[in-house]
């Protein structure tokens, strides 16, 4: 893997590399060994003003929103092709930024975004942007038009993927976008800007502004913004919603999760354990909002499930994320490592049984590492069962019967993802229907790019991906025609 440092001295504003208005710098630090892997300028409010002005001008008077749909979609497909050609480069960069194991980065951090741009283009081709309806009095034309200038605020855990969920439908709709990457992971966003330029995205359509939460708040509250799409914590999401409401900006929020994996008594335990392992500890080292972090086990098979999950956690290879054999890498930062370790202490103080893990892996003291951890005999009222830890920590909760399992699964302020494991798929579907969460999988763990993704309750509002994700970047207009 390349160890060359990526230093940027300019900001990508309105499709051009521009001198920043301020002098502050963001240092990007590798959480494996603490080395600086890159530097980017820290955007200021003046840079936000410049980016929004460029986006506003392009949207109001430029060609992008007025291009034939196929011309916009051709740009999306070129972005997809170029991203696919540079998957190793993007994967390596993101692994060095946030510590994702390289095999996972190749597949999800870099490979998945390339697919999203192509899938979104197919979705847009089938979307009814304009249709005629016969009303009770007159014929009506119903149009779906781009919402306007979009502020896309993305997190550090899966930056390229989350960016694609926002940027691809926004571009397909004809919007212009100001992208605000996390200060922990801004390098891949700048690389994406290079790709977008090569793909033929016109000036003014995209800006990239790495910055902290203060500048992010200014962007979200900017009067030139028509829609905000935010992915992050519940606390930050509530603040984003409050600030965006001042301008009545449209909003999509994808927030936290505490997803339940319900293992029914007839389930194949080996299949369930293997899937849960890949969708919890090994899913970006547990740093994923959709991770299956609550495992609900029938009391009749609790000991068997506990033993199998303990063995699975202990078999995981933890270490240098650039090593292709590694399955769990470091937390993104020392702050995140401290947070996860604090929750492990809280779980022990609450009386949960520590089945495995619970500390820093031997020999990895210099990085931001946490052992894959499994708590048993967890009560649904415990903080570790209710609060999002965002690390390689799984809670095992026993239940009495199916109704009890559903009640425990629903006893959460979150509702983002989940899974049901059973030998009877029809029964699994019935249980899934009863769980109040935005996405579920029966006997697996899937993120289907043609289907809507988003959460119930504090997991957010609105949907990304699929037809519903595209529609969130459109306004609906009705035009009544003369009677015929």
Sheet holding 259-263, edge to edge: 353-356, 373-376, 393-399, 292-298, 259-263, 418-421, 441-442
Tokens of 46: 């003046």
Q: Find out if CATH 3.40.605.10 is the number for domain 6-255+458-479.
A: yes
CATH for 259-449 is 3.40.309.10
Q: What are the tens digits of pLDDT across the range 433-457? A: 999 999 999 999 988 999 999 999 9
| Residue 254 annotated to the active site | yes
For the chain, the maximum distance between any two Cα atoms, rounded to a whole number of angstroms, is 80
Q: What are the tens digits of pLDDT across the range 211-224? A: 999 999 999 999 99
Residue 436 in contact with residue 260, Cβ under 8 Å?
A: no
Average model confidence (pLDDT) across the chain:
97
Residue 360 in contact with residue 395, Cβ under 8 Å?
A: no
Q: What are the tens digits of pLDDT across the range 287-301? A: 999 999 999 999 999
Q: How confident is the model at residue 411 (pLDDT cuts 50, 70, 90)?
A: very high
Q: What are the tens digits of pLDDT across the range 53-90? A: 999 999 999 999 999 999 999 999 999 999 999 999 99
Would you say residue 2 has pLDDT above 60? no
Q: What is the structure's pLDDT at 1? A: 44
Residue 194 in contact with residue 179, Cβ under 8 Å?
A: no
Q: How confident is the model at residue 3 (pLDDT cuts 50, 70, 90)?
A: low
Q: What is the structure's pLDDT at 483? A: 82
Do the two domains 6-255+458-479 and 259-449 of this chain adopt the same fold? no
Q: What are the tens digits of pLDDT across the range 83-96? A: 999 999 999 999 99
Would you say residue 142 has pLDDT above 60? yes
Q: What is the mean pLDDT of residues 342-371?
A: 97
Q: What are the tens digits of pLDDT across the range 14-37? A: 999 999 999 999 999 999 999 999
Q: What is the mean pLDDT of residues 113-119?
A: 98
Residues 240 and 228: their CA atoms lie apart, in Å, by 8
Ranges of each domain in the chain: 6-255+458-479, 259-449
- % the chain with pLDDT above 70: 99
Residues 20 and 204: their CA atoms lie apart, in Å, by 16
Q: Say what the pTM is.
A: 0.96
Q: CA nearest 102: which of 322, 317, 280, 316? A: 322
Question: Measured between alpha carbons, how far is residue 229 from residues 248, 311, 474 in Å?
Answer: 13, 40, 13
| Residue 175 annotated to the active site | no
Q: What are the tens digits of pLDDT across the range 361-401? A: 999 999 999 999 999 999 999 999 999 999 999 999 999 99
Would you say residue 186 has pLDDT above 60? yes
Q: What is the structure's pLDDT at 447? A: 87
Annotated active-site residue in 58, 184, 254, 388 = 254
Would you say residue 246 has pLDDT above 70? yes
Q: What are the tens digits of pLDDT across the range 301-330? A: 999 999 999 999 999 999 999 999 999 999
Annotated active-site residue in 289, 368, 395, 464 = 289
Q: What are the tens digits of pLDDT across the range 453-462? A: 999 999 999 9
């Amino acid at each position: 893997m390349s160890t060359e440092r990526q230093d940027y001295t300019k900001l990508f504003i309105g499709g051009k590399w521009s001198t920043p208005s301020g002098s502050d710098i963001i240092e990007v630090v590798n959480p494996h060994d603490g080395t600086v892997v890159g530097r980017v300028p820290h955007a200021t409010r003046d840079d936000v003003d410049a980016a929004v002005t460029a986006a506003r001008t392009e949207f109001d008077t430029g060609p992008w929103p007025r291009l034939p749909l196929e011309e916009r979609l051709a740009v999306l497909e070129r972005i997809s092709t170029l991203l696919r050609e540079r998957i190793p480069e993007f994967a390596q960069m993101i692994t060095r930024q946030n510590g994702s194991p390289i095999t996972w980065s190749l597949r999800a951090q870099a490979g998945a975004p390339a697919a999203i741009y192509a899938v979104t283009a197919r979705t847009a081709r089938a979307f009814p942007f304009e249709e005629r309806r016969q009303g009770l009095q007159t014929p009506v034309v119903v149009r779906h038009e781009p919402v306007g200038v979009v502020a896309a605020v993305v997190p550090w855990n899966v930056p390229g993927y989350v960016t694609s969920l926002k940027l691809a439908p926004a571009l397909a709709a004809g919007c212009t976008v100001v992208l605000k990457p996390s200060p922990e992971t801004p390098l891949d966003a700048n690389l994406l800007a290079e790709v977008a330029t090569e793909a033929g995205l016109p000036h003014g359509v995209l800006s990239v502004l790495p910055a902290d939460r203060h500048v992010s708040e200014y962007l979200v509250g900017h009067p030139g913004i028509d829609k905000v799409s935010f992915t992050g914590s519940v606390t930050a999401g509530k603040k984003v919603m409050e600030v965006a409401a001042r301008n009545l900006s449209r909003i999509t929020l994808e927030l936290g999760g505490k997803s339940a994996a319900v293992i029914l008594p007839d389930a194949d335990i080996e299949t369930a354990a293997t899937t849960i392992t890949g969708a919890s500890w090994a899913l970006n080292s547990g740093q994923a909002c959709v991770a299956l972090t609550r495992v609900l086990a029938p009391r009749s098979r609790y000991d068997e499930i506990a033993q199998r999950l303990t063995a699975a956690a202990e078999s995981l290879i933890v270490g240098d994320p650039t090593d292709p054999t590694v399955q769990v890498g470091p937390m993104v930062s020392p702050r995140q490592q401290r947070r996860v370790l604090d929750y492990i202490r809280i779980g022990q103080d609450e009386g949960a049984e520590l089945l495995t893990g619970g500390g820093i892996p031997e020999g990895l003291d210099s990085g931001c590492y946490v052992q894959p951890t499994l708590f048993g005999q967890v009560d649904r009222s415990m903080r570790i069962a209710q609060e999002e830890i965002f690390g390689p920590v799984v809670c095992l909760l026993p239940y009495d019967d199916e109704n009890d399992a559903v009640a425990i699964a629903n006893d959460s302020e979150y509702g983002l993802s989940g899974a049901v494991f059973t030998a009877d798929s029809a029964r699994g579907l019935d249980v899934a229907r009863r769980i109040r969460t935005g996405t579920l999988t029966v006997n697996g763990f899937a993120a289907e790019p043609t289907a809507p993704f988003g959460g119930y309750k504090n997991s957010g509002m609105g949907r990304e991906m699929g037809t519903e994700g595209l529609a969130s970047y459109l306004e609906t207009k009705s035009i009544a025609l003369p009677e015929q």
